[in-house]
Amino acid sequence: MTAAPNPEAEHAIADIARRHGLSRDSVLAMAAALRNGGGTMAQFSIPELGGSGQWMRGGMTMVGDMFDHSLKARVDALCNELAQLLSTTQVFPEQTNWWPADLGVPSSTGGQNDTRYAVFPAARRLAVQMRGVTRVFDTAEHRIGGVQQQQGGPSGTVHFTSQLGTFDISSLR
């Protein structure tokens, strides 16, 4: 269930849904996915948009049917518009951070299904929440630059990329 938008954002969400020919719920689900991706990326599973997919500002769009270029363009247009809205309007009520406050502000966050992560390079820490349980890891010498989450695979399948290669949380303390 996606959080209800703030009353002042409700009109904008309805207008975007109308212009893109989508339901309000689909637009809200994409807005929530974008919020979870820091406003610059989204991992989503929205039936009205072809099921599972990913979007990243700057041109990377993946949808279930990789040859459906019109769907890719539709997702890209929707995400660009919602990213702009999220950067100028508080669409959803304030969220409290799920990671310990002493870690500060993360350089990146993301999530899919019941797993989410936040990277804190200054503190050399990685916070991962799986099925509601948050754990904090020492990233040691890893400077995390990428994250991959497998869709449709085992819950919690997350791999990180650093200057030392690809790793998962089982290799961290």
Model pTM score: 0.59
Q: Above 80 in pLDDT, residue 157? A: no
Angle at which helix 7-20 crosses helix 24-36, to 10 degrees, equals 110
Q: What is the reported pLDDT for 1?
A: 46
Mean pLDDT, range 42-58, rounded to an integer: 92
Q: What is the reported pLDDT for 8?
A: 81
Q: What is the pLDDT of residues 15-26, one digit of tens each?
A: 999 999 999 999
Mean pLDDT, range 41-50, rounded to an integer: 93
Domain ranges of the chain: 7-88, 101-171
